[in-house]
């Protein structure tokens, strides 16, 4: 594994100040957790020394779960209750899963997101992902010896809003504080760039188990600027396995298969793919429950032939990303390969041909994303090392609204640097219209029906006017996690309606709360105690942040009276934290939050001014 030097030798924060933070790569096939230890990013292993945790969750009758390798190796014994590649179902409806028929699961078409029936009840992909995250959280806390301040969780760059929101919900259900959702190729670029002191234009080609991303980045003096990203959130190594599986069925002339045999043959298909990358040929030998014997030889030539269209499917997004970035393939200085599927020789050759250069494979493609996420988590948690680099990422898919005739009006174009906000004005089309329905969609196509529906909401109470007289201003805001919120406002009367985009493809706060309750009911944890603990963590975090801010420039930016006011609020919060009244802790935290708004604004002004002054000083020196 690559060692990533991110601080000057000898420079490290004192251990007692070090805040425990991790980066988590929640993958389709495997998941990992990494952290920065003594200035070096490392993957945390389980007790047996394994870094990779297979993203497999088996549900048992009593509600308990087995997660990881042991669940994977027993998948054929209990295919209905062993959930593999659940990431493919995150934020997706049943109609989004074309190969559902080849999977041994009983899907339930729930509103918003598909669910899966197991012996332990109906489970959402969010809950399945949360089980994986819980195991990684426990692994990290055992290895680091304390509670985590937070985690950076990676998502495919081409994940849409529903998929991102589902991932964040899963982290909440697992009891993790999400410092940031980070795009996988960007995480890889951080790990690669900081390790190699890279400068210039780079492409990150990331073919994981179930998703494909291509990102084009400009690396300049510690700034990682994503210029364009593209991909396919339903294309990955799994599809290569499935091609082998279908080929094997065809060759062995098998038409119907028991579910246990489906799981068995899929496992053999995957194994054959991996053997092929290492040895140039592979054998598939299996005895089915019917007594039939499958015995096939898969050559590289056949494999390349049956998967050629998949390889080509990754090159189209590469072309689009380059075009969006306004670049030619030859402008790219290096192509970083990420994701286990990039081990396939044919893929390396195709990417090499496309970009006219040998791709970079010197970092472990399975680990580089988690390592990059750990480096980012370390900085976000406030551990100072490596503070002098910055990440500028983008929205992968355009965000817009439905307008007359079922057409899409784009509000935020794809590849806009986040955080970003755009507003657009709309008007009523009927006389006396008092409500306006707002349908939020994501995608590049012109027809709303070809885009993903994210949310619908209504702005009511518009005063009756003639058609075209009302002015409704709709504002889209995308935050640093790439998550969208939408606000609509009738500008004459100030009637307002806002929404964090969730209802049609995400979970409501209540649903998340229920999942949390279920998950802790089983662990026999006391929910009330858990709530108090979490409120306490929030309160202490705010106290710590306020103390640091006051120490830095409280004297300079506050009058003695203002200072005394904030001190009083901090004192009240400390007192509340000493007790066990949840409502009091929340109240005191909120009061301090409110009481420091003006101070925060002055500090921010100061930061902007400092940046500008620094800039002008530089000019004087020239």
Active site residue 259: no
- Does 605 bind another protein (CB under 8 A)? Our answer is yes
Active site residue 388: no
Q: How far is the CB of 403 from another protein (least distance, A)?
A: 16
Q: Which helix (H) or strand (E) holds 338?
A: strand 334-338
Binding mask 267-306 toward another protein (x if CB under 8 A, else -) reads ----------------------------------------
Interacting span for another protein (CB under 8 A) from 283-291, 339-347, 416-424, 525-533: 416-424
Q: Which of 545, 582, 584, 591 binds another protein (CB under 8 A)?
A: 545
Helix axes 259-279, 300-325, angle to 10 degrees: 80
As a whole number of angstroms, the distance between CA 463 and CA 238 comes to 54
As a whole number of angstroms, the distance between CA 213 and CA 230 comes to 6
Site for another protein in 19-38 (CB under 8 A): 19
- Order of strands, sheet of 115-118, starting from the edge strand that comes earlier in the sequence: 106-108, 115-118, 121-123
Contact 443, 462 (CB under 8 A): no
Options 131, 184, 241, 402, the catalytic residue: 184
As a whole number of angstroms, the distance between CA 204 and CA 190 comes to 11
Contact 442, 505 (CB under 8 A): no
- Does 437 bind another protein (CB under 8 A)? Our answer is no
Summarize the chain as % helix, strand, coil (round to 5): 45, 25, 30
**Which sign, positive or negative, has the C-alpha torsion 501, 530, 384, 136?**
negative
Q: Tokens 């072309």 identify what position?
A: 319
Q: Which of 32, 379, 484, 512 binds another protein (CB under 8 A)?
A: 379
- Does 601 bind another protein (CB under 8 A)? Our answer is yes
Interacting span for another protein (CB under 8 A) from 196-204, 411-419, 435-443, 529-537: 411-419
In 60-210, the DSSP E strands lie at 65-67, 82-84, 106-108, 115-118, 121-123, 150-155, 178-183, 200-207
Binding mask 503-542 toward another protein (x if CB under 8 A, else -) reads --------------------------------------xx
Residues 6+ apart with CB under 8 A from 444: 397, 398, 414, 451
Nearest to 41 by CA among 370, 343, 436: 370
- Does 467 bind another protein (CB under 8 A)? Our answer is no
Please give the DSSP secondary-structure letter assigned to residue 547: H
Q: How far is the CB of 249 from another protein (least distance, A)?
A: 32
Q: How far is the CB of 319 from another protein (least distance, A)?
A: 7
Q: Which of 47, 404, 611, 620 binds another protein (CB under 8 A)?
A: 611
Contact 498, 477 (CB under 8 A): no
Phi and psi at 79, nearest 5°, equal -60, -30
Instruction: Report the residue number, 16 or 616, with the smaller CB distance to another protein.
Output: 616
Q: How far is the CB of 368 from another protein (least distance, A)?
A: 20
Q: How far is the CB of 595 from another protein (least distance, A)?
A: 9
Instruction: Report the residue number, 349 or 392, with the smaller CB distance to another protein.
Output: 392
- Does 186 bind another protein (CB under 8 A)? Our answer is no
Q: Which of 48, 255, 279, 615 binds another protein (CB under 8 A)?
A: 615
Longest dimension (CA), the chain: 85
Can you tell me whether residue 59 is helix, strand or coil?
Answer: strand
Instruction: Report the residue number, 197 or 611, with the smaller CB distance to another protein.
Output: 611
Q: Tokens 């885009």 identify what position?
A: 451
Helix axes 560-578, 527-557, angle to 10 degrees: 160
Q: Which of 223, 252, 349, 584 binds another protein (CB under 8 A)?
A: 223
Q: Which of 549, 572, 577, 582 binds another protein (CB under 8 A)?
A: 549
Active site residue 87: yes
Contact 14, 202 (CB under 8 A): no
As a whole number of angstroms, the distance between CA 320 and CA 332 comes to 14
Structure tokens at 482: 């790439």
Contact 361, 348 (CB under 8 A): yes
Q: Which of 421, 469, 500, 537 binds another protein (CB under 8 A)?
A: 421
Three-class SS of 315-377: HHHHHHHHHHHCCCHHHCCEEEEECHHHHCHHHHHHHHHHHCCCCECCCCCCCHHHHHHHHHH
CB atoms within 10 A of CB 46: 18
Instruction: Report the residue number, 435 or 604, with the smaller CB distance to another protein.
Output: 604
Structure tokens at 73: 């190796």
Q: Which of 236, 334, 340, 382 binds another protein (CB under 8 A)?
A: 382
Options 78, 127, 161, 206, the catalytic residue: 206
Instruction: Report the residue number, 265 or 585, with the smaller CB distance to another protein.
Output: 585
- Does 405 bind another protein (CB under 8 A)? Our answer is no
- Does 609 bind another protein (CB under 8 A)? Our answer is yes
Structure tokens at 306: 């049956």
Contact 506, 165 (CB under 8 A): yes
- Does 419 bind another protein (CB under 8 A)? Our answer is yes
Binding mask 580-599 toward another protein (x if CB under 8 A, else -) reads ------------xxx-xx-x
Options 87, 134, 137, 273, the catalytic residue: 87
As a whole number of angstroms, the distance between CA 129 and CA 169 comes to 9
Instruction: Report the residue number, 80 or 574, with the smaller CB distance to another protein.
Output: 574
Active site residue 206: yes
As a whole number of angstroms, the distance between CA 32 and CA 22 comes to 10
- Does 608 bind another protein (CB under 8 A)? Our answer is yes
Binding residues for another protein, how many (CB under 8 A)?
Answer: 58
Site for another protein in 122-161 (CB under 8 A): 149-150
Instruction: Report the residue number, 22 or 75, with the smaller CB distance to another protein.
Output: 22
Structure tokens at 164: 């991102």
Structure tokens at 558: 């506050």
Structure tokens at 257: 């298969």
Interacting span for another protein (CB under 8 A) from 216-224, 293-301, 333-341, 396-404: 216-224
- Does 447 bind another protein (CB under 8 A)? Our answer is no
Contact 476, 484 (CB under 8 A): yes
Q: Which of 60, 297, 323, 445 binds another protein (CB under 8 A)?
A: 323
Instruction: Report the residue number, 460 or 571, with the smaller CB distance to another protein.
Output: 571
**Which chain residues interact with another protein by CB under 8 A?**
19, 149-150, 179-180, 220-221, 223, 316, 319-320, 323, 376, 379-382, 388, 390-392, 416-421, 477, 479-480, 541-542, 545-546, 549, 592-594, 596-597, 599-605, 607-612, 614-616, 618-619
Q: Which residues are catalytic?
A: 25, 87, 184, 206
């Amino acid at each position: 594994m690559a060692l990533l030097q991110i601080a000057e030798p000898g420079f490290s924060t004192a251990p007692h100040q070090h805040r425990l933070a991790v980066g988590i790569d929640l993958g389709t096939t495997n998941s990992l957790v990494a952290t920065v230890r003594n200035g070096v990013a490392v993957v945390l292993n389980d007790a047996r020394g394994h870094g990779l945790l297979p993203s497999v969750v088996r549900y048992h009758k009593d509600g308990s779960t087995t997660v990881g390798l042991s669940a994977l190796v027993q998948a054929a014994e209990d295919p209905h209750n062993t959930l593999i590649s659940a990431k493919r179902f995150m934020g997706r409806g049943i109609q989004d899963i074309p190969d559902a028929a080849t999977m041994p699961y009983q899907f339930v078409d729930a509103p918003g997101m598909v669910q899966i029936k197991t012996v332990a009840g109906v489970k959402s992909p969010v809950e399945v992902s949360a089980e994986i995250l819980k195991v990684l959280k426990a692994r990290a806390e055992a290895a680091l010896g304390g509670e985590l301040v937070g985690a950076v969780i990676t998502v495919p760059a081409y994940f849409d809003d529903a998929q991102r929101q589902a991932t964040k919900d899963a982290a909440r259900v697992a009891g993790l504080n999400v410092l940031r959702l980070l795009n996988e190729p960007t995480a890889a670029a951080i790990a690669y760039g900081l390790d190699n002191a890279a400068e210039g234009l780079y492409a990150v080609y990331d073919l994981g188990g179930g998703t494909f991303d291509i990102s084009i980045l400009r690396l300049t003096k510690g700034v990682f600027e994503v210029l364009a990203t593209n991909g396919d959130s339903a294309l990955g190594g799994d599809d290569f396995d499935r091609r082998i599986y279908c080929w094997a069925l065809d060759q062995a002339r098998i038409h119907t298969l028991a579910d246990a045999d489906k799981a068995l043959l899929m496992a053999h298909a995957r194994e054959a793919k991996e053997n092929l990358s290492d040895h140039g040929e592979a054998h598939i030998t299996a005895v089915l429950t019917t007594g039939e014997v499958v015995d096939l030889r898969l050559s590289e030539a056949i494999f390349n032939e049956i998967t050629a269209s998949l390889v080509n499917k990754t090159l189209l997004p590469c072309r689009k990303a380059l075009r969006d970035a306004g670049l030619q393939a030859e402008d790219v200085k290096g192509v970083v390969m990420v994701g286990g599927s990039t081990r396939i020789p044919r893929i390396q050759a195709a990417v090499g041909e496309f970009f006219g250069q040998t791709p970079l494979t010197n970092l472990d493609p399975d680990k580089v994303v988690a390592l990059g996420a750990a480096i980012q988590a370390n900085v976000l948690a406030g551990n100072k090392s490596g503070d002098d680099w910055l990440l500028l990422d983008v929205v992968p898919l355009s965000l817009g609204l439905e307008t007359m005739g079922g057409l899409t009006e784009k509000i935020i174009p794809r590849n806009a640097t986040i955080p970003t906000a755009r507003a657009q004005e709309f008007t009523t089309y009927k006389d006396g219209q008092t409500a306006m329905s707002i349908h939020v969609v994501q995608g590049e196509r012109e027809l709303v029906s070809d885009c993903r529906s994210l949310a619908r909401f209504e702005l009511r109470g518009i005063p009756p006017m003639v058609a075209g007289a009302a002015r409704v201003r709709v504002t889209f805001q995308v935050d640093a996690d790439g998550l969208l919120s939408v606000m609509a406002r009738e500008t004459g009367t100030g009637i307002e309606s806002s929404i964090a985009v969730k209802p049609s493809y995400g979970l409501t706060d209540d649903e998340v709360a229920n999942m949390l309750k279920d998950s802790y009911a089983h662990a026999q944890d006391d929910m009330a105690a858990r709530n108090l603990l979490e409120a306490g963590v929030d309160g202490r975090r705010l106290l710590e942040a306020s103390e640091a801010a006051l120490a830095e420039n409280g004297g300079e930016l506050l009058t003695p009276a203002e200072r005394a006011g904030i001190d009083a609020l901090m004192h009240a919060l400390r007192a509340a934290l000493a007790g066990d009244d949840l409502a009091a802790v929340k109240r005191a935290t909120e009061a301090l939050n409110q009481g420091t708004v003006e101070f925060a604004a002055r500090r921010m002004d100061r930061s902007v001014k400092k940046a500008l002054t620094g800039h002008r000083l530089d000019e004087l020196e020239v």
